């Protein structure tokens, strides 16, 4: 056997036998692609590799830029929204603080107005000595029928002292402690006040009645038949009252009608004081007995 025969036999047995059809196809395809690319790039009008690279990279870069811009805008909006929410929260807090300040200011204005009204009441009744007092407890539910004030024997308060506010007669002191006093209002059941018209022409009785007090009124009784509320309906405490000082405004006569006896009239009295809302009052320290003694001496 010659050397060439030996090489041929070796190639046939070890190389050619292992080359499969799949390998042949891959090799042929590679050669074909290489041939096409070679002829394509060797032409005069062939596109350069950089142009092809640009055609691939540029759209990708533009897409990446768009994605980046979108993410930037989204993040910016998120930050703006967060800042806006924080600002809204700050404004709400400031608004709440301003509302609280406004409420305190309004409360101070109301207290100041009430104080000035009490001063005007003092001026109107300058012949009476009086002191200011604040209500600290109320036994009623919807009305101030019986309540407690922050003045007592230490301040010179005594039973039967009259109690008023800026609008009119409130009631009378019924019991006193060291630093407090209990006031019974004129609207309490079985309470009665001797009254007269402001000009002193007519006498009548202003009687307390809880069922009527819810409407802000008292009962009017024992008015004479010629009583005409159309010309003089303001009622004040009369000089014949045994406990109440004269001239304290009680209220205004309404719905007056003639009784069956034909001699007297009855009706209702719209109280000058709002007994559903009381805060500060004036205690008149001048007593009825002392006033009568002073008048007798004169």
pLDDT digit string, tens, across residues 44-102: 555 555 555 555 555 656 665 666 676 667 767 777 777 777 777 877 777 777 777 66
Q: Distances in Å between the alpha carbon of 228 and those of 7, 200, 234, 235, 272?
A: 153, 13, 11, 12, 19
Task: For 113-163, write each residue's pLDDT tens digit.
Answer: 554 555 565 566 677 888 999 999 998 777 899 999 999 999 999 999 999
CA 98/CA 3 separation, integer angstroms? 112
Residue 194's nearest CA partner among 172, 215, 166 is 172
Q: Distances in Å between the alpha carbon of 90 and those of 33, 80, 99, 107?
A: 70, 15, 14, 26
Task: For 196-210, write each residue's pLDDT tens digit.
Answer: 888 766 789 999 987
Does residue 273 sit in helix, strand or coil? coil
The CATH fold of domain 130-297: Thrombin, subunit H (2.40.10)
CA 50/CA 127 separation, integer angstroms? 113
Does residue 76 sit in helix, strand or coil? helix
Domain ranges of the chain: 130-297
pTM of the predicted protein model: 0.60
The tokens describing 121, both together, are 């009441």
**Cβ proximity of 148 and 137 under 8 Å:** yes
| Cα angle for residues 237, 241, 246 (degrees, 5° grid) | 40
CA 155/CA 131 separation, integer angstroms? 9
Does residue 99 sit in helix, strand or coil? helix
């Amino acid at each position: 056997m010659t050397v060439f025969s030996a090489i041929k036999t070796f190639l046939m047995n070890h190389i050619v036998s292992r080359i499969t059809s799949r390998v042949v196809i891959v090799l042929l395809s590679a050669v074909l692609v290489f041939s096409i690319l070679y002829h394509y790039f060797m032409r005069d009008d062939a596109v350069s590799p950089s142009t092809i690279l640009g055609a691939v990279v540029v759209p990708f870069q533009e897409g990446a830029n768009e994605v980046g811009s979108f993410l930037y805008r989204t993040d910016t909006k998120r930050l703006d929204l967060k800042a806006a929410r924080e600002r809204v929260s700050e404004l709400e807090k400031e608004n709440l603080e301003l509302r609280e300040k406004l409420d305190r200011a309004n409360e101070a204005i109301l207290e100041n107005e009430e104080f000035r009204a009490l001063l005007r009441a003092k001026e109107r009744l300058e012949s009476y000595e009086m002191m200011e007092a604040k209500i600290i407890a109320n036994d009623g539910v919807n009305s101030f029928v019986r309540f407690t004030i922050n003045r007592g024997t230490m301040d010179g308060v005594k039973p039967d002292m009259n109690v008023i506010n800026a609008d009119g007669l409130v009631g009378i002191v019924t019991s006193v402690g060291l630093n407090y006093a209990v006031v019974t209002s004129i609207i309490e059941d079985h309470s009665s006040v001797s009254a007269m018209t402001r000009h002193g022409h007519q006498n009548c009785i202003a009687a307390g009645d809880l069922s009527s007090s819810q409407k802000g009124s008292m009962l009017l009784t024992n008015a004479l038949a010629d009583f005409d509320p159309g010309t003089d309906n303001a009622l004040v405490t009369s000089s014949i009252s045994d406990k109440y000082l004269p001239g304290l405004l009680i209220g205004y006569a309404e719905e007056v009608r003639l009784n069956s006896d034909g001699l007297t009239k009855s009706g209702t009295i719209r109280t000058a004081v709002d007994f559903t809302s009381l805060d500060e009052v004036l205690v008149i320290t001048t007593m009825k007995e002392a006033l009568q003694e002073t008048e007798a001496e004169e």
